Structure 1
Amino acid sequence: MDKFLLAAAPPPGNGPAAPRPPTQRWHRWSRIAVELEGRIDARFRHRESRRLLDSYAETRSFKHKYYTHGEERCQTYVNRMINASTMVGCYNPAREGVSAMEFDRKGVYLASVTISGCLTVHDFETLYCSMYGPSCSLPDDSSNYLLHISNPMPLCSVRWNPGNQDEIVCSSSQRDKVFLFDIGYVSAAPNEILQIGKSKFHTLCSESRKGLTDLAFTSDDKSWLFASGLDGAVYMWDRRLSKTHCRELTALPESQFTSIKLNMDNRTFFGATKNGTMHVWDLRGGKASAAFQSHNEVQPLSSVKISTLLGKITSLKEQSNIISCEILSIDFNPSCSYQLAFHLDDGWSGVLNVNTLSVSHLHCPPPAWLDGTDSVLHKRKPTWLATSSIYAVGSSSISGMYVLDFHPDTSSACHVDYNEEIKGSGENQPTENKFIPLSERVLSCSAHPLSDSIIAGTEFSSLLMVSQKNETIRNPE
Structure 2
Amino acid sequence: MNKFLVAAPPSADEGPEAPRPPPRRWHRWSRIAVELDGHIDARFRHRESRRLLDSLAEIRTFEHKYYTHGEERCPTHVNRMINASTFAGCYHSAREGVSAMEFDKKGIYLASVTNSGCLTVHDFETLYCSLYGPSCSLPDDSSNYVLHISNSMPLCAVRWNPGNQDEIVCSSSQTDKVLLFDIGYISSAPTEVLQKGKTKFHGLCSESRKGLTDVAFTPDDKSRLFASGLDGAVYMWDRRLSKTHCVELTALPESQFTSVKLNMDNRTVFGATRNGTIHVWDTRGGRASAAFQSHNEVQPLSSVKISRLLGKIASLKEQSNIVSGEILSIDFNPSCSYQLAFHLDDGWSGVLNVNTFSVSHLHCPPPAWLEGVDSVLHKRKATWLSTSSIYAVGSSSNNGIYALDFHPDTSSACHVDYNEETKGSEENQPAENKFIPLSERVLSCAAHPLSHDIICGTEFSSLLMVSQKYETVRDPE
| SS of 1:202 mapped into structure 2 | coil
Provide the rounded CA distance (Å) in 2 between the counterparts of 1:449 and 1:38: 22
Give the partner amino acid of 1:385: L
State the match for 2:238 in structure 1. Answer: 238
- The CA deviation at 1:449 is 0.4
Q: Could you tell me whether the CA contact under 8 Å between 1:368 and 1:376 is conserved in 2?
A: no
Q: Could you tell me whether the CA contact under 8 Å between 1:290 and 1:299 is conserved in 2?
A: no
Q: Could you tell me whether the CA contact under 8 Å between 1:306 and 1:324 is conserved in 2?
A: yes
Provide the rounded CA distance (Å) in 1 between the counterparts of 2:461 and 2:137: 20
Using a 3 Å threshold, how does the CA distance of structure 1 residues 69 and 18 change in structure 2: closer, same or farther?
same
Over 4 Å off, 4+ runs: 1-11, 15-24, 88-91, 474-477
State the match for 2:402 in structure 1. Answer: 402
State the match for 1:169 in structure 2. Answer: 169
TM-score by length of 2: 0.95
Are 1:200 and 2:200 an aligned pair?
yes
Deviation track 1:259-297 (CA, whole Å, cap 9, x = no partner) reads 010001011110000000110001110224357621100
Deviation track 1:177-231 (CA, whole Å, cap 9, x = no partner) reads 0000000000000000001111121332110000000000111111111001000
State the match for 1:354 in structure 2. Answer: 354
Provide the rounded CA distance (Å) in 2 between the counterparts of 1:4 and 1:468: 39
Provide the rounded CA distance (Å) in 2 between the counterparts of 1:249 and 1:357: 20
Provide the rounded CA distance (Å) in 1 between the counterparts of 2:141 and 2:7: 75
- The CA deviation at 1:421 is 2.2
| SS of 2:39 mapped into structure 1 | coil
Provide the rounded CA distance (Å) in 1 between the counterparts of 2:430 and 2:466: 23
State the match for 2:278 in structure 1. Answer: 278
Provide the rounded CA distance (Å) in 2 between the counterparts of 1:30 and 1:274: 45
Provide the identity percentage: 86
State the match for 2:53 in structure 1. Answer: 53
Deviation track 1:338-377 (CA, whole Å, cap 9, x = no partner) reads 0000000000000000000000000000100112112324
Q: Could you tell me whether the CA contact under 8 Å between 1:156 and 1:213 is conserved in 2?
A: yes
The 5-angstrom pairing of residues 27-426 of structure 1 reads: 27-87=27-87, 91-136=91-136, 138-290=138-290, 293-426=293-426
Provide the rounded CA distance (Å) in 1 between the counterparts of 2:444 and 2:61: 15
Using a 3 Å threshold, how does the CA distance of structure 1 residues 217 and 20 change in structure 2: closer, same or farther?
same
Provide the rounded CA distance (Å) in 2 between the counterparts of 1:163 and 1:256: 29
Using a 3 Å threshold, how does the CA distance of structure 1 residues 137 and 300 change in structure 2: closer, same or farther?
closer
Q: Could you tell me whether the CA contact under 8 Å between 1:156 and 1:173 is conserved in 2?
A: yes
Q: Could you tell me whether the CA contact under 8 Å between 1:291 and 1:299 is conserved in 2?
A: no
Provide the rounded CA distance (Å) in 2 between the counterparts of 1:16 and 1:405: 55
- Which stretch shows the higher mean deviation, 40-49 or 374-383? 374-383
| SS of 1:231 mapped into structure 2 | coil
Q: Could you tell me whether the CA contact under 8 Å between 1:98 and 1:458 is conserved in 2?
A: yes
| SS of 1:378 mapped into structure 2 | coil
Deviation track 1:19-72 (CA, whole Å, cap 9, x = no partner) reads 999754433200000011001000000000000000010000000000000000
Deviation track 1:287-326 (CA, whole Å, cap 9, x = no partner) reads 2435762110000001110000000000000010000000
- Which stretch shows the higher mean deviation, 293-302 or 112-121? 293-302
Q: Could you tell me whether the CA contact under 8 Å between 1:76 and 1:114 is conserved in 2?
A: yes
- Which stretch shows the higher mean deviation, 87-96 or 222-231? 87-96
Deviation track 1:377-419 (CA, whole Å, cap 9, x = no partner) reads 4100010000000000000111111000000000000000011
Provide the rounded CA distance (Å) in 1 between the counterparts of 2:205 and 2:397: 33
Using a 3 Å threshold, how does the CA distance of structure 1 residues 273 and 365 change in structure 2: closer, same or farther?
same
Deviation track 1:222-270 (CA, whole Å, cap 9, x = no partner) reads 1111001000011100011111110000000010000010001011110
- Which stretch shows the higher mean deviation, 171-180 or 82-91? 82-91
Q: Could you tell me whether the CA contact under 8 Å between 1:379 and 1:443 is conserved in 2?
A: yes
- The CA deviation at 1:424 is 1.8
- The CA deviation at 1:9 is 10
Q: Could you tell me whether the CA contact under 8 Å between 1:130 and 1:138 is conserved in 2?
A: no
Deviation track 1:111-151 (CA, whole Å, cap 9, x = no partner) reads 00000000000000111111112212535432110000000
Provide the rounded CA distance (Å) in 2 between the counterparts of 1:20 and 1:319: 55
Q: Could you tell me whether the CA contact under 8 Å between 1:10 and 1:17 is conserved in 2?
A: no
Q: Could you tell me whether the CA contact under 8 Å between 1:93 and 1:459 is conserved in 2?
A: no
Using a 3 Å threshold, how does the CA distance of structure 1 residues 457 and 3 change in structure 2: closer, same or farther?
closer
Provide the rounded CA distance (Å) in 2 between the counterparts of 1:475 and 1:20: 57
Using a 3 Å threshold, how does the CA distance of structure 1 residues 299 and 187 change in structure 2: closer, same or farther?
same
Using a 3 Å threshold, how does the CA distance of structure 1 residues 137 and 116 change in structure 2: closer, same or farther?
closer
| SS of 1:136 mapped into structure 2 | coil
State the match for 2:444 in structure 1. Answer: 444
Provide the rounded CA distance (Å) in 2 between the counterparts of 1:9 and 1:113: 73
Using a 3 Å threshold, how does the CA distance of structure 1 residues 82 and 28 change in structure 2: closer, same or farther?
same
Provide the rounded CA distance (Å) in 2 between the counterparts of 1:255 and 1:467: 38
Give the partner amino acid of 1:93: S
User: CA RMSD for the aligned pairs?
Assistant: 2.2
Provide the rounded CA distance (Å) in 2 between the counterparts of 1:280 and 1:407: 24
Using a 3 Å threshold, how does the CA distance of structure 1 residues 274 and 2 change in structure 2: closer, same or farther?
closer
| SS of 1:112 mapped into structure 2 | strand
Name stretches of at least 5 consecutive residues in structure 2 with no aligned partner. Answer: none
Provide the rounded CA distance (Å) in 2 between the counterparts of 1:257 and 1:464: 28
Q: Could you tell me whether the CA contact under 8 Å between 1:63 and 1:140 is conserved in 2?
A: no
- Which stretch shows the higher mean deviation, 198-207 or 456-465? 198-207
Q: Could you tell me whether the CA contact under 8 Å between 2:100 and 2:156 is conserved in 1?
A: yes
Using a 3 Å threshold, how does the CA distance of structure 1 residues 146 and 2 change in structure 2: closer, same or farther?
closer
- The CA deviation at 1:430 is 2.2
Q: Could you tell me whether the CA contact under 8 Å between 2:76 and 2:114 is conserved in 1?
A: yes
State the match for 2:470 in structure 1. Answer: 470
| SS of 2:421 mapped into structure 1 | coil
Q: Could you tell me whether the CA contact under 8 Å between 1:258 and 1:329 is conserved in 2?
A: yes
